[in-house]
């Protein structure tokens, strides 16, 4: 029997792409921006995309809960079995800086487990989507398998500019092939589609940063955990997760051992 999230997948792809089209009307153009908190910018593009996604997604799944970076959190969501987890514009700083490394990130979860993920980069035209049952597609075509690399040394690990700039990767840069990219969701999607060996965040993230990407990693047969090796469970009261590590299971184990042995969890 077809699961609900399988029915929803084409609807979510369409909604994410529509949100991306809206975002691009603002990109490198005129919009307002401000800081919600220190070093946490938001723009009118974020809010416009959020309104579009909320209307379309809640219409598509009546009764589902809602968790978005750009919507005030309602604790009533904790009682819902099904919930949308959304970042309407992940990588707002890259968007503001005119770098094509931002994305629309949409996940659908049931009982805390990510069932569907769609990540759309409107600047590059990339759409990475999938469910565990259907696997992962890249621009509507079956994605090549998740990287099969098993050796840690030389692995192409996607990381953030901020972490590299703060020296957080200095002790690992001679061991890994670090590749700096903006949006966390975009990095996760690229790894799921076989365009990177792993993604690691040494800093805490929020559920909306990673939920869609974790769904895609799992759909690709990979492993996704925090930096202690614990798998993620979504729609929690505390939205912060303690770092992120995703890769195929063998490489994941090697990277986790390396990070724990050399103090990679320290912030």
Domain assignments of the chain as residue spans, ordered by start: 4-142, 156-261
pLDDT at 266: 45
Q: Which residues pair with 131 in a beta bridge?
A: 116, 135
Q: Is the pTM of this model over 0.85?
A: yes
pLDDT at 37: 87
Q: In this structure, which topology does domain 4-142 adopt according to CATH?
A: Fructose-1,6-Bisphosphatase; Chain A, domain 1 (3.30.540)
Predicted confidence band of residue 86 (pLDDT cuts 50, 70, 90): very high
pLDDT at 267: 40
For residue 264, pLDDT over 80 is answered with no
Q: In this structure, which topology does domain 156-261 adopt according to CATH?
A: D-Maltodextrin-Binding Protein; domain 2 (3.40.190)
Q: Alpha-carbon dihedral of residues 20, 206, 248, 170, nearest 10 degrees?
A: 100
pLDDT at 7: 94
Q: Are 8 and 61 in contact (CB under 8 A)?
A: yes
Strands (E), the chain: 33-37, 40-43, 65-68, 82-90, 103-110, 113-121, 126-131, 135-138, 141-142, 156-159, 177-180, 198-201, 205-206, 223-225, 240-241, 244-247
Question: Rounded to an integer, what distance in angstroms lies between the CA atom of residue 234 and that of residue 262?
Answer: 29
Closest residue by Cα to residue 185 from 167, 163, 211, 203:
211
Question: Rounded to an integer, what distance in angstroms lies between the CA atom of residue 225 and that of residue 179?
Answer: 20
Structure tokens that stand for 59 in this block: 């219409």
For residue 263, pLDDT over 80 is answered with no
């Amino acid at each position: 029997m077809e699961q609900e999230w399988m029915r929803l997948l084409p609807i979510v792809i369409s909604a994410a792409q529509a949100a991306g089209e809206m975002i691009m009307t603002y990109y490198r153009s005129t919009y307002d921006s401000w800081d919600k908190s220190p070093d946490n910018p938001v723009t009118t593009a974020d809010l416009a995309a959020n309104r579009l996604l909320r209307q379309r997604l809640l219409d598509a799944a009546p009764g589902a809960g809602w968790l978005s970076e750009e919507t005030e959190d309602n604790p009533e969501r904790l009682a819902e079995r099904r919930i949308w987890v959304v970042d309407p514009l992940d990588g707002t700083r890259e968007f503001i800086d005119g770098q094509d490394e931002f994305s629309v990130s949409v996940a659908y979860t049931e009982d805390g487990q990510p069932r569907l993920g769609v990540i759309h980069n409107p600047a590059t035209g990339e759409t990475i989507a999938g469910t565990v049952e259907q696997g992962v597609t890249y621009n509507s075509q079956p994605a090549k398998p998740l990287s099969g690399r098993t050796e840690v040394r030389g692995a192409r690990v996607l990381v953030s500019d901020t972490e590299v700039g703060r020296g957080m990767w200095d002790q690992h840069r001679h061991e890994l092939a670090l590749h700096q990219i903006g949006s966390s969701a975009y990095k996760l999607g690229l790894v799921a589609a076989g365009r990177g060996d792993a993604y690691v965040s040494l800093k805490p993230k929020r559920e909306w940063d990673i939920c869609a990407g974790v769904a895609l990693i799992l759909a690709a047969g990979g492993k996704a955990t925090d930096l202690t090796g614990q798998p993620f469970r979504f729609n929690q009261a505390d939205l912060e997760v303690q770092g992120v590590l995703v890769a195929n299971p063998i490489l994941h184990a090697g990277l986790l051992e390396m990070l724990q042995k050399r103090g990679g969890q320290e912030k």
